[in-house]
Each structure stands twice: as structure tokens, then as C-alpha cells.
């Protein structure tokens, strides 16, 4: 009789053997000075190499995909070289690391884009504000992409995937969640196009699927994942038929035999904003034949429970990995956890960037 699967059970993810089912979730930390990864970032990720898989913070595929100060990129030779020190440091500790490829779309601002307007499927402004080099600003109405520009952005995703391979990553995750460009094309609240990328669910999903196809031409498909957030309300995101929209996409993703899909549960803000799909995992699990990573503020017991019920195959942890570089070791012996400090989640220009980043103690140090 086999033992019960839990967070510490190894798992085969395509061609890669993961030491456990604890994934370090992608988290924006804004420590890449001038968009170039730093030795401090290498230290941060290496500290957390005991995760079964690390997924990096969102990483720009072009200068015009930026939405945040000190967000890293993967479009220049300098960035590729700088990321190499991160992957080397993680691999030296026996870890596995995927790069998250990202385009912010309408969640940008001319102050971050050398005066250019952000681009989006449609000229519909996101709700909310952004921090820019000139202070906090309200999001502006983006410029709608011309049909012939869309292939150029798909090519930027493809090139980003190649650059990630050259930087030594073990794979890539496409950021298809949280109201950024791929998500903006998918949901009808942000996509009111009348060409082949708008209108029907099939048309709105076209951009996402073409990006997946392009990236799978660079990497073996079992080294490509995608993150989706069917219940996200960030930046004013909404869809008139979220279950139908995301069901179509998830069924189509079966064709690619990806490493995984990474599904986000709604958070308190989503649940308070409107009636959203909840829970996400049980809604879509029956539709997907491959591995699913779930993310939803899980603790150890909740993470184990979701694996026992087979609703997910891996569990990603965000804030717990911020505050506990050795989270798997702490979970293994039920050690006390460090508390995360939200004031230092994001790097600000007047702040010591190590503060709340690489200075959380491990068990060995404490």
C-alpha cells in the first residue's frame, strides 16, 4: 500500500524530478536595479532552493512591457548574463527555477515607458494606481494594439523564452493572470476588439494560445507552465462568462502537454469586489489532464489536504516563502514560522534592498 501523498512527496514534472511539491510562487519584489538582476537577487533565490520548484517574479519581455520600477527584464544581453548568476546560485544548491515571462499591457504608464502609452487589446483603462519615477499616478487609457502588432509581441515572448534558456533556467511560466496582457486579451471586460483576437471566447483566447505555441517551439512543452486567475478582480478585470472562458482555455491547454497550469484561488479582495468563482481548483480540475499547481494562501495542513484529495498536484506558497527561506525544512519539523513584513515586500528607492528580502533568518542561523 502506497503512503499518502503530501507536500514532501517527490513528483515527476515532465522530464524533471522535483524533490517536493512545495512551489515558491512568483512574487513581485522590485529589487532589479535598472531592470537588471543583481547578486542580491541570486542570494535571495538560492536561499529558497529547497522548494521543489522556484518560479521567479514577473520578468519583462520588452522595454514597453514594464509596469513597475526595478522590475527585471529578459530582453537584453546584460539581463541574460545577470540572470545566469541567479540560476547558477539556485542550481548550486540543488534547486530548480523557472522564469516567469510577462507583459504588463495596460498596467503601465508613460513615466515607465519612455513617454509611450501602454498597449492593450482595447483602449480601456485599468483601474488603480502605479508607482513611477515621478510618484504615484492613476492608470491612463492604453493604446489599442493594431492587429499586425500582435505577432510582434508574440515574437517577444518567443525571444524571451530563448533568452531564459540561455540564462540557464529549467523552464518558463507564462504570466496569464492578474490583469496583465495575456489576461487582458482573454477577458471581455478588457477586450472589445472586432478582429480575430476579439469577440468570441475562441478569438479572445487566440493570443494566449499563440503565445503558448510560440514558447513551446523554443522549449520542450513539459518545461513550460502558465499561470491563470479566473477569479481575479485586480485592475478592474472581469469577464461576463468566466467559467465558460477559462474552461475553454484549460481544455485547449491539454493539447500542449505543458509542465503544469498554475491556478489562483480568489483572495479576500476578489471575494469582496463581486461574486467570483470559488473555489477555482475544484471547478477546473476535471477539465485538465496534466499537473496543476494551486495557490490560495495555504498553510501546511491545507496544502497537504488539497494534495490528499487530488484536487491539485503541487501547492505554491507566496508570503510564507518570503519570510521563511527554509520553508520546507520548517514544515518538516513543524518549526515556528517567521512572520512576513508587508512594508518590505516591494523594493523602494530609499530603502535598503536587503531589508525584508535576504535577511529573514533560517533555522540554522536562528
* Cα-based angle 134, 238, 282 (whole degrees, multiple of 5): 120
**Virtual CA dihedral for 240, 242, 247, 248, nearest 10 degrees?**
40
- Of these residues, 44, 68, 180, 197, which one is catalytic? 180
The helix (run of H) or strand (run of E) holding residue 327 is: helix 327-333
- Phi, psi dihedrals of residue 286, rounded to the nearest 5°: -65, -15
- The residue written with cell numbers 522548494 in the block is 51
Cα separation, 34 vs 70, in Å, equals 6
Beta-bridged to residue 131, according to DSSP, are 136
Q: Which three cell numbers stand for residue 304?
A: 497537504
The helix (run of H) or strand (run of E) holding residue 321 is: helix 319-323
Question: Residue 297's closest CA among 284, 308, 306, 288?
Answer: 306
- Phi, psi dihedrals of residue 268, rounded to the nearest 5°: -60, -40
Q: Which three cell numbers stand for residue 299?
A: 498553510
**Virtual CA dihedral for 86, 19, 26, 145, nearest 10 degrees?**
90
Local structure of residue 73 (DSSP, 8 states)? B
Cα separation, 142 vs 137, in Å, equals 14
Q: Mark whether 180 is an active-site residue.
A: yes
Gyration radius of the chain's alpha carbons: 19
Cα separation, 38 vs 46, in Å, equals 13
The helix (run of H) or strand (run of E) holding residue 173 is: strand 171-175
Q: List, in sequence order, the alpha helices (H) in 126-253.
A: 147-166, 181-186, 201-204, 206-216, 242-253
Q: Which residues are known to be catalytic?
A: 180
Amino acid at each position: 500500500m502506497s503512503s499518502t501523498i503530501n507536500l514532501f512527496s517527490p513528483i515527476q514534472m515532465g522530464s524533471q524530478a522535483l524533490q517536493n511539491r512545495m512551489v515558491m510562487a512568483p512574487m513581485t519584489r522590485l529589487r532589479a536595479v535598472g531592470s537588471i538582476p543583481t547578486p542580491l537577487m541570486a542570494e535571495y533565490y538560492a536561499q529558497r532552493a529547497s522548494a521543489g520548484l522556484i518560479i521567479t517574479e514577473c520578468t519583462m519581455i520588452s522595454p514597453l512591457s514594464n509596469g513597475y520600477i526595478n522590475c527585471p527584464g529578459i530582453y537584453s544581453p546584460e539581463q541574460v548574463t545577470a540572470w545566469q548568476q541567479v540560476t547558477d546560485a539556485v542550481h548550486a544548491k540543488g534547486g530548480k527555477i523557472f522564469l516567469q515571462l510577462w507583459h504588463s499591457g495596460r498596467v503601465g504608464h508613460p513615466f515607465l515607458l519612455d513617454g509611450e502609452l501602454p498597449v492593450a487589446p482595447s483602449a480601456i483603462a485599468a483601474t488603480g494606481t502605479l508607482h513611477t519615477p515621478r510618484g504615484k499616478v492613476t492608470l491612463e487609457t492604453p493604446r489599442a494594439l493594431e492587429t499586425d502588432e500582435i505577432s510582434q509581441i508574440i515574437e517577444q515572448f518567443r525571444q524571451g523564452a530563448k533568452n531564459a534558456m540561455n540564462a540557464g533556467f529549467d523552464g518558463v511560466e507564462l504570466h496569464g493572470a492578474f490583469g496583465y496582457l495575456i489576461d487582458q486579451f482573454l477577458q471581455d471586460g478588457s477586450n472589445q476588439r472586432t478582429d480575430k483576437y476579439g469577440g468570441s471566447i475562441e478569438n479572445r483566447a487566440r493570443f494566449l494560445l499563440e503565445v503558448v505555441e510560440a514558447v513551446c517551439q523554443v522549449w520542450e512543452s513539459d518545461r513550460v507552465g502558465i499561470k491563470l486567475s479566473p477569479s481575479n478582480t485586480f485592475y478592474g478585470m472581469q469577464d461576463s462568462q468566466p467559467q465558460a472562458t477559462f474552461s475553454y482555455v484549460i481544455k485547449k491547454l491539454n493539447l500542449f502537454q505543458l509542465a503544469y497550469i498554475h491556478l489562483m484561488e480568489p483572495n479576500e479582495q476578489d471575494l469582496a469586489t463581486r461574486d467570483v468563482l470559488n473555489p477555482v481548483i475544484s471547478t477546473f480540475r476535471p477539465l485538465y489532464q496534466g499537473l496543476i499547481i494551486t495557490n490560495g494562501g495555504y498553510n501546511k495542513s491545507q496544502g497537504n489536504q488539497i494534495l490528499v484529495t487530488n484536487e491539485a498536484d503541487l501547492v505554491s506558497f507566496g508570503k510564507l516563502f518570503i519570510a521563511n527561506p527554509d520553508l520546507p525544512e520548517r514544515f518538516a519539523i513543524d518549526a515556528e514560522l517567521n512572520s512576513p513584513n508587508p512594508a518590505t515586500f516591494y523594493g523602494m528607492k530609499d530603502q535598503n534592498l536587503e531589508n525584508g528580502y535576504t535577511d529573514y533568518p533560517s533555522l540554522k542561523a536562528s
